[in-house]
Structure 1
């Protein structure tokens, strides 16, 4: 059982993670609907994250994992690209590698399917030489 202090720390960390993920999605030029589907959060939660108004937030393990994958996709892209146009534009570009088949990574993960988010992370991460 978590102490009150641990629970408060976890809620604060979840709020920071969600706010950061929403900022990244905004830089990727994802629509609110796309961001909500990717992170599996409600419209009101997404809007509150955009405003940085997440004092009381409860996220389940699926949502936290989605945030983690999104942050890790961004981290991998930061290792690959120095140019902000590529860093933030990569996910919107048509990708002709086998998994994407001409679709942009953002379009793939916007389905809200957890497996699509995982597969996109795996493929972006492999570009930087990650071993699976």
Structure 2
């Protein structure tokens, strides 16, 4: 019978995971998330229709209300989607020049993940799993993989 080895001691303390089921937590995170999302969409030159697609197909009314008034409280799904997109935005700006980082999501990509499509199209059609894949791809590249 094998015994498990103790995990090595470390000074690393992971940040607590926010409870997105808690309305107060979502209220606290929403304004910054909306601002970061709208900034990324502007820098990537994403059409409103595609931005709504990235948010899971948000309808026109709530989307334009969000653009006008950033004080709204987002649901857990929308916050999760924005979190992935902000991570992708950050990774692109670490990996590439500002101009390429801003264009990357709109460029056809020969990586087999994208099959010649743009990363934007891949993420709109694939939803959260596709965003997670793109985030992992870019984080892997940041780590030298």
Q: TM-score w.r.t. structure 2 length?
A: 0.74
Is contact 1:38-1:112 (8 Å) kept? no
Is contact 1:22-1:49 (8 Å) kept? no
* CA RMSD between the two structures: 2.2
- Report the CA distance between 1:117 and its aligned residue: 1.4
Q: TM-score w.r.t. structure 1 length?
A: 0.80
Matched, 1:78 2:114: no
Residue 18 (structure 2) aligns with: none
- Report the CA distance between 1:125 and its aligned residue: 1.9
Flag structure 2 segments of 5+ consecutive residues without an equivalent: 1-22
Once the two structures are superposed, residues 16-60 of structure 1 have per-residue CA deviations (whole angstroms, 9 ceiling, x without a partner) of 202211220121111111111112233233223333x122x2322
The structure carrying a bigger helix percent of its residues is: 1
Match of 1:60 among 52, 75, 91: 75
Say which one has the larger Rg.
2
Residue 22 (structure 1) aligns with: 38
- Report the CA distance between 1:88 and its aligned residue: 0.3
Residue 11 (structure 2) aligns with: none
Flag structure 1 segments of 5+ consecutive residues without an equivalent: 1-5
Aligned length: 123
Once the two structures are superposed, residues 67-120 of structure 1 have per-residue CA deviations (whole angstroms, 9 ceiling, x without a partner) of 100000011111112x22101001111111110111110111122622111111
Is contact 1:94-1:103 (8 Å) kept? yes
Q: Which has the higher contact order (CA 8 A, sep 6+)?
A: 1
